[in-house]
Amino acid sequence: MKKLIKKYSPPGLDLFPEICVLIIGSILALLILIVSFASKYKYELNWAKESPGGRTIPYFSDITDKGTIGFSVLYVIMICFIIYRYMYLIKSKSIYLTKRLPVWRATEKLYIIVPFGYMVFCMLLEKLTLIILFILYYILTPDIYLKHNILFDFITESLL
């Protein structure tokens, strides 16, 4: 994996800060999503149990709507990585060498492919976490508090 990242990075670029930001940012985004979901889910479940009548818990997408802000910030950071890599490539002397390469768009590959791969990794991590949280939401919520069509809502609102 490290060879692949190094292959599509500008020559001489230190990858350690990028990977640290990616790992720490992913962990923080996961924590924000999980804590946000757990606190709002507990509040809504307690309110549904204490209120008289047939109150239901909100849809899963309503519970996790603010929790994905950490991943949104992470996507913005990945766009900043593209700008940083471009500026590094322009200021380095290797730009002259990459412009002479016979491969078309070789310069663009050096600053776009790896941050795009980081974005795909973050997106997969976010969707996998949402799927796990939905399974927990479905298993832990009693049937009397669930609304109809929760699976349809999950697919259309949370995953897409």
What string of pLDDT tens digits covers the 160 residues of the chain?
A: 778 888 888 777 888 999 999 999 999 999 999 999 999 999 998 888 888 776 788 888 888 888 899 999 999 999 999 999 888 877 765 566 656 655 556 677 778 899 999 999 999 999 999 999 999 998 888 888 887 777 777 777 767 6
Q: Buried b / exposed e across 127-143, counting CB within 10 Å, b at 16+?
A: eebbeebbeebeeebee
3-state helix, strand, coil in the chain (%, to 5): 75, 0, 25
Cα distances (Å, whole numbers) of residue 89 to 75, 85, 95, 107, 113: 21, 6, 6, 8, 14
- Tell me if 58 sits within 8 A of 157, measured CB to CB: no
Domains in the chain: boundaries: 14-159
